[in-house]
Amino acid sequence: MSVVLENCTVVDGRIQPIEDAAVRVVGERIAAVGPRERVLAEAGGDATRIDLGGAWVTPGLANMHTHLSLTLPGAAGDRLKRMGPHELALYMADGARRTLHCGVTTVRCVAEKDHADFALRRSIDAGRTPGPRIFTAGRALVCTGGHGHESSDTLECDGVDGFRRGVRQQVKAGADLIKVMISGGIAGEHESIDTRQLHPDELAAVLRTAHDWGRRVTAHAGPAPVITEAVELGLDCVEHGYELTAELAALMAERGTALVPTLLVTRCKAFFDELGVPEWMQQRSLGAGERHLKSYELAVAAGVEVLLGSDMPPFWQFEGTSATVRELEHMSAVIGPERALHAATLGPVRWLRAENDLGTVEPGKYADLIAMDDNPTVNTSAFRGVRWVMKGGAVVRDDRAGVRP
């Protein structure tokens, strides 16, 4: 089946905007992109035509720090912890649907409960459940009593052999990457952000084992000394990075270590209030906000690859938009809208090694596309107006036609 999307401007951060454009989709993939008249002529008269009403079309967004089974301290988290496996699966499926409908067509899950993420991915891939493309770490690896140990989305390990086994268990389950907690964090009551939680030999075992299996490693991490050690050992990505220094940022840029800053986690009081998060965690989080932003600015200045990741559920309505878009707006305030588009599309896809299939609007890629009425290369807030979503050649949201999330 051939579908032509027309009356639009195409932009993907890689090319100059194509005005009065058309995109031809055959099956799940893009077959042609270019000026409307040329694409229509090549398509012939049998193609189904979809008028996008002058919209701007970009690749679907990729959120690199996702927890579809997130539980934080507080009343809402306690309710989620009481869910049985069947209820949890349905809860995560609902979150996946909401995520897709808000324009996020790819997610990287970085710790989910009970390996439910693998079942969800299989269901999405089989077409039984609407949702984004899922790349997942399975359960995050922690030391005994380490960050997040109280939840079934982590696996407690100790010693070199224990962490090697932990990596292999995630790979066995189907993990695309490995997540490890190497320092304390905001949500741990009996730790601080700068608490070291792995010995160098344990971290080296994680990195060596994961890399031997062809998996990249990302680390929950806050303090500069712990991150410096990890980068020198070969870490591929840092989550949060609350306390970077100029020297560490330069090292990350030199070694090609990416940063997913998750700026929202230190500037989201309304979200915490909604979930009933206790005061001790709110104070720790919001109190780290200024230093967190400075770390991000240092990384950008050094040339570190920065990638979109919200930590909050991607679809969550927050400050007038989704958490994904709000995070991207915070990022854009420092890097500008064009680089923000890259940080939300091709940048994440390259880290995931999926650029042959995703991340741009060009022939051969999956037709994972979103449309909005304003130009996102001029103002990132254009993504607040996403009104049309396609994944794999199927329209899953079309506000004008009444196909709404």
At residue 121, φ and ψ (nearest 5 deg) are -60, -45
Residue 174 confidence (pLDDT) above 60: yes
State the pLDDT at residue 126.
97
Look up residue 337 and give its two tokens.
């809208």
221-224 contact pairs (CB < 8 A, 24+): 221/182, 221/183, 222/183, 222/184, 222/185, 222/193, 222/194, 223/183, 223/193, 223/194, 223/196, 224/248
> Quick one: pLDDT band at residue 333, thresholds 50, 70, 90?
very high
pLDDT at residue 176 tops 60: yes
Confidence band of 281 (pLDDT split at 50, 70, 90) = confident
Q: How far apart are CA 108 and CA 111, in angstroms?
A: 9
Quick check: helix, strand or coil at residue 321? strand
Mean local confidence (pLDDT), 377-386: 98
> What pLDDT is attached to residue 191?
65
- pLDDT of amino acid 186: 72
Q: What is the DSSP letter of 403?
A: B
Residue with tokens 């409960």: 113
Strand extents, DSSP E, 115-194:
133-136, 140-143, 154-157, 177-181
Residue 358 has which token pair? 């995703």
Least confident window among 118-132, 224-238, 288-302, 391-405: 391-405
- pLDDT tens sequence across 86-103: 999 999 999 999 999 999
Tokens of 48: 């189904």
Q: For residue 189, is pLDDT > 70? A: no
Q: What is the pLDDT of residue 196?
A: 87
Task: List 391's β-bridge partners, or say none.
Answer: 394
Of 148-162, 220-234, 253-267, the poorest mean pLDDT is in 148-162
Strands 321-322 and 48-59, by their bridges, are: unpaired
- Residue 330 or 45, more confident: 330
Residue with tokens 């709000």: 326
- What's the pLDDT score for residue 403? 62
How is residue 199 written in tokens?
Answer: 């010995």
Beta bridge partners of 24: 4, 32
Mean pLDDT confidence for 150-155: 88
pLDDT > 70 in the chain, percent: 98
How many Å apart are CA 64 and CA 85, to the nearest integer? Answer: 25
CA 256 to chain centre: 18
Report residue 16's pLDDT band, with 50, 70 and 90 as the boundaries.
confident
Residue 288 has pLDDT above 80, yes or no: yes
H or E, element range at 244: none
Query: What is the structure's pLDDT at 13?
Result: 83
Q: Where is pLDDT greater, at 74 or 61?
A: 61
φ, ψ of residue 35 to 5 degrees: the values are -55, 140
Q: What is the pLDDT of residue 12?
A: 94
Supply φ then ψ for residue 380, to 5 degrees: -60, -25
Confidence band, pLDDT 50/70/90 cuts, at residue 285:
confident
At 275, the pLDDT band (50, 70, 90 cuts) reads: confident
The yes-or-no verdict on residue 405 having pLDDT over 60 is no
Mean pLDDT, the chain, rounded, equals 94
Which residues are bridge partners to 371 per DSSP?
A: 57, 388
Tokens of 290: 């200024």
> Between 187 and 89, where is the model more confident?
89
